[in-house]
A and B are shown apart, each in its own frame.
Chain A
Amino acid sequence: MEILTLIVKRVSYAAMLLLAVVVLNFILINLAPGDIADTIAGDMGGATAEQMAEIRADYGLDLPLWQQLFRYVSNVMQGDLGYSYFHTQPVTSLIAERLPATLLLVITAQLVALFVGTLLGVLAARKPNGWLSHIVTLIALFGYSAPVFWTGIMLLIMFSLWIPIFPVAGMVDVTIEGGWWSHVLDIARHMVLPVITLSSIFLALYSRLCRASMMEVLGSDYIRTARAKGLSESQIVFKHALKNSLGPVVTLAGLQFSAVVSGAVLVETVFSWPGLGTLALQSIIARDTPTIIGILFFSAMVVIVGNLLTDLVLRLIDPRIRNRA
């Protein structure tokens, strides 16, 4: 019940945030010189002045800005994100085509980063000054310090060109025959490099935080009590300490959703992953306003939902938060 009110509150609030995203970006994009008619003319190898005027009239670009804004916002309120000038398709269906690919990449990368990061963090925390701890720190920092697209390109050269074990681009190999499992396997094969690349940034964050938070917990009184009771070290670490150090890690993961979406743009570009990121770059370059705003809208939604889920997970793992609310 209490969770329900929280959700209702958060959802209505999220709607306001999303509306702000739409309005701000609409105004911003329309302030810049040039418009979609130029893009379409460019894409077609030229256009006459009449054709360009027709395109503008067609999309209502000849109206005053406030009228365009009013029209656009009232459409968005009714769930209509408009029509992509460039792709000649409704924006909602365009994005619906891409969102699953991005979600698959983003969620898998987050889970991998969380899992591996926590594991490395725990290992490092057990012996904070041991060589393992330092190596873990270095590996983690590598991922964080190297530009993510650069990591991607290096992996691509290594594992698609030198040792060609992973495909170079895309999400599926349409020439593959066979049952559903061979398709699942195929997608998994395509995912390996992009997921490693994207999770490498966040691996560092999670493992470092997990290490720090574990060390804090391991030094606390009740762990000392547990030790005194003669519990085995692994029992202490995994049963008691880890449970209590997960909170900050999950909180941080929730805060990273916006960064994950950003990283996804770069990773998708490197690996030609057919998600929102590649669509975004193309739309920005083509000045396809409805699509750009649609993508910002959906990415903001991913972030908001991610944050909400984080809150719920936190409540599950940490009863103190539940009581506090």
Chain B
Amino acid sequence: MGKLSKPLTLAATCLLATGITAGLATAEEPKRGGTLVMSAPQTPRHLNPAVQSGTATGAPGAQLFAAPLRYDENWEPQPYLAKSWDVSDDGLTVTLNLVEGATFHDGKPITSKDVAFSVKTVQENHPFKTMFAPVQSVETPDDNTAILKLSEPHPALLLAMSSQLLPIIPEHVYGDGQDPKKHPQNSENVVGSGPFKLVEFKRDQHIILERNENFFMEGRPYLDKIVMRIIKDPSARAIAIENGEVHLAAFEQSAQNINRIKKAEGVSATADGYAAIGPIAWLAFNTAREPTSDINVRKAIAYAVDRNFITKAIMLGTAEPALTGIHPGSPFYEKDVEAYDVDLKKANQILEDAGYEKGADGMRFKLFVDYGWPDVKAVAEYVKPQLKKIGIDITVRAAPDFPTWAKRISSHDFDMTWDVVFNWGDPVIGVHRTYQSTNIKEGVIWSNTQSYANEEVDALMEAAGKETDLEKRKELYSKFQKILADELPVYWAYALPYHTFHSDKVGNVPAGIWATSSPLDLVYLK
């Protein structure tokens, strides 16, 4: 594990380099000042990412709160609040050396006690239990050193200490005994540690942030102010980018608007920066219920659905095909798996051989397809006429609101459902949960709602979660993906085409792995 940690000297050099870290270098000299207007597609519940996952909280959260580490676009950890770190050779001790003199927005110093408190808060309240599960304790020998003690090696830990996943929150504010999930200072008077301070949060209107003059990174941030305008309608956001009202819009996924902005003058669209978010759109099967419990039915459906049509025609070429449950942008993605390229004849034959005779109306059986998100409505509608071609009579079940859908799926009352599930950086965090046989849980969405169980797959995940050697880890995940592709608990279709729209006036558009859910201290206006 030693090779993943950065030598102190290199980290120090990075800090000295004025403003530009590796990979973010641009030809131009950044300019200071100005107000960046961003759009946000939804109102966050509140602004504290320690007790709330999701990208709505992530974008403002990563500005308000600094994490120990940040990542560049090559998945390399970079110093942030921790100027350096060290992972012991047995992988059981992780030491963070914090920047000296860093302060919270209220002027009080950021100490290792706050780091320990933040880890504890996340452990207790964040939905992603796997992030810090092996962390036994956090020792604080002095104000600038935090030592995380682990029960077993945990290669996902460094990623879990970046961006929005481990915001360093002040113990003297959030440790006052109130439930941190409902703390009033999650939404107003936020005392953060990051490059920007909260000025105003008006639900469904805007979030205004201003430069933190005492930010621990000298000379940053460049911007005076960030205004996040909450505009829910995708067309309205596209118009706002085009007519110059908004400079930067992240997490845009409408194929039409992506192509439109690519063609428009003075604005650009980029797909860079979303590798760690890892959103995959897929068609999940209920493997515990007839007839989708039959592997032949699942294979026939996989052969009938045309991934190429989906990515090229429905998504207008903006989306990348996803062949497995790991995002194509992840270093662990295995592309050499059975892809089930469209073959209607074969699909019909499989069903015929398996004994599903066509009835008088040309249909073999009926199935429901659910969908929980407007984003996958089009593909959900697509399977209706498409599967009619192999004699499956589909009814699209609309769930008008999220709880209705979540209830149906999590209580296993479904045949198939379109869904979008996020990888969240490391497979341990976002991938394992939907395939572990130990995670078949009634009433919990994004658990293993497919009821898929395979001991070998369980063992592979267990081993890969602890493996500290990157190559060996890749091998384990490769095998994992191949078995899944054969057994098809899920038909993975495409990576959601998240794009960042920006005016050409914006410099250093975030291109790491966390998109705008990372500190925007380097962004400037030309």
The residues of A with any CB-CB pair to B shorter than 8 Å are: 32-36, 38-49, 51-52, 86-89, 94, 97-98, 153, 156-157, 160-161, 164, 167-175, 269-272, 274, 278-279, 282, 284-287
A52 to B127, CA, bound (A): 10
* Neighbouring A residues of B205 by C-beta, 8 Å: 170-172, 274
* Neighbouring A residues of B410 by C-beta, 8 Å: 38
Q: Which residues between 186 and 242 of chain B lie within 8 Å of chain A, taking CB atoms?
A: 186-187, 200, 202-206, 208, 227, 229-233, 235-237, 239-240, 242
Interface size class of B (residues with CB under 8 A): 35 or more
Known: A169-B237, A272-B230, A286-B401. 10 other contacts (CB 8 A): A35-B403, A43-B52, A46-B128, A48-B129, A52-B444, A97-B203, A160-B239, A169-B240, A282-B43, A287-B401
State whether the Cβ of B182 lies closer than 8 Å to any Cβ in chain A.
yes
* Neighbouring B residues of A168 by C-beta, 8 Å: 231, 236, 239-240, 243, 245
* Neighbouring B residues of A269 by C-beta, 8 Å: 232-233
Q: Provided the pairs A34-B404, A39-B402, A49-B443 are in contact, do residues A89 and B187 lie with their beta carbons within 8 angstroms?
A: yes
Q: How far is the CB of A187 from chain B (nearest CB, A)?
A: 12
Q: Which of A40, A44, A161, A168 has the most CB of B within 10 A?
A: A168
List 11 A-B residue pairs with CB atoms under 8 Å apart, sorted by A's residue number: A33-B407, A35-B403, A36-B403, A48-B129, A87-B203, A160-B243, A161-B242, A168-B236, A170-B231, A174-B208, A287-B403
CB pair A46 B236 closer than 8 Å: no
* Neighbouring A residues of B430 by C-beta, 8 Å: 45
State whether the Cβ of B424 lies closer than 8 Å to any Cβ in chain A.
yes
Q: Which of B203, B408, B443 has the most CB of A within 10 A?
A: B203
A116 to B503, CA, bound (A): 41
CB pair B230 A45 closer than 8 Å: no
Q: Provided the pairs A41-B444, A274-B205 are in contact, do residues A156 and B43 lie with their beta carbons within 8 angstroms?
A: no
Q: How far is the CB of A153 from chain B (nearest CB, A)?
A: 8
* Neighbouring A residues of B45 by C-beta, 8 Å: 40, 43, 86-88
A49 to B182, CA, bound (A): 19
Q: A47: nearest residue on chain B (CB-CB)?
A: B127
* Neighbouring A residues of B35 by C-beta, 8 Å: 175
A295 to B285, CA, bound (A): 38
CB pair A164 B243 closer than 8 Å: yes
Choose from A35, A43, A94, A156 the contact partner of B54 (Cβ within 8 Å): A43
State whether the Cβ of B377 lies closer than 8 Å to any Cβ in chain A.
no
State whether the Cβ of B1 lies closer than 8 Å to any Cβ in chain A.
no
A272 to B229, CA, bound (A): 10
CB pair A285 B239 closer than 8 Å: no
Q: A40: nearest residue on chain B (CB-CB)?
A: B45
Q: Provided the pairs A156-B236, A287-B403 are in contact, do residues A88 and B444 lie with their beta carbons within 8 angstroms?
A: no
CB pair B401 A285 closer than 8 Å: yes
The 3 closest A-B pairs by CB, nearest first: A34-B403, A34-B407, A38-B403
CB pair A170 B233 closer than 8 Å: no
State whether the Cβ of B491 lies closer than 8 Å to any Cβ in chain A.
no
Choose from B231, B233, B406 the contact partner of A41 (Cβ within 8 Å): B406
Q: A275: nearest residue on chain B (CB-CB)?
A: B204
* Neighbouring B residues of A172 by C-beta, 8 Å: 205
State whether the Cβ of B473 lies closer than 8 Å to any Cβ in chain A.
no
Q: Provided the pairs A45-B53, A46-B444, A51-B127 are in contact, do residues A285 and B402 lie with their beta carbons within 8 angstroms?
A: yes
CB pair B52 A161 closer than 8 Å: no
CB pair B403 A44 closer than 8 Å: no
State whether the Cβ of B14 lies closer than 8 Å to any Cβ in chain A.
no
A39 to B129, CA, bound (A): 18
Q: B413: nearest residue on chain A (CB-CB)?
A: A33
CB pair B422 A45 closer than 8 Å: yes
Choose from A46, A86, A171 the contact partner of B445 (Cβ within 8 Å): A46
State whether the Cβ of B149 lies closer than 8 Å to any Cβ in chain A.
no
CB pair B401 A42 closer than 8 Å: no
Q: Provided the pairs A39-B403, A174-B227, A286-B402 are in contact, do residues A94 and B203 lie with their beta carbons within 8 angstroms?
A: yes
Q: How far is the CB of B421 from chain A (nearest CB, A)?
A: 9
Q: How far is the CB of A213 from chain B (nearest CB, A)?
A: 39
State whether the Cβ of B433 lies closer than 8 Å to any Cβ in chain A.
yes
State whether the Cβ of B452 lies closer than 8 Å to any Cβ in chain A.
no
State whether the Cβ of B113 lies closer than 8 Å to any Cβ in chain A.
no
Choose from B52, B126, B433, B445 the contact partner of A42 (Cβ within 8 Å): B445
A156 to B236, CA, bound (A): 8
State whether the Cβ of B447 lies closer than 8 Å to any Cβ in chain A.
yes
Q: How far is the CB of B241 from chain A (nearest CB, A)?
A: 10
Q: B126: nearest residue on chain A (CB-CB)?
A: A44
Q: How far is the CB of A278 from chain B (nearest CB, A)?
A: 5
* Neighbouring A residues of B54 by C-beta, 8 Å: 43-45
State whether the Cβ of B350 lies closer than 8 Å to any Cβ in chain A.
no
Q: How far is the CB of B174 from chain A (nearest CB, A)?
A: 14
State whether the Cβ of B37 lies closer than 8 Å to any Cβ in chain A.
yes
CB pair B187 A88 closer than 8 Å: yes
Q: How far is the CB of A83 from chain B (nearest CB, A)?
A: 8
* Neighbouring B residues of A88 by C-beta, 8 Å: 45-46, 181-182, 186-187
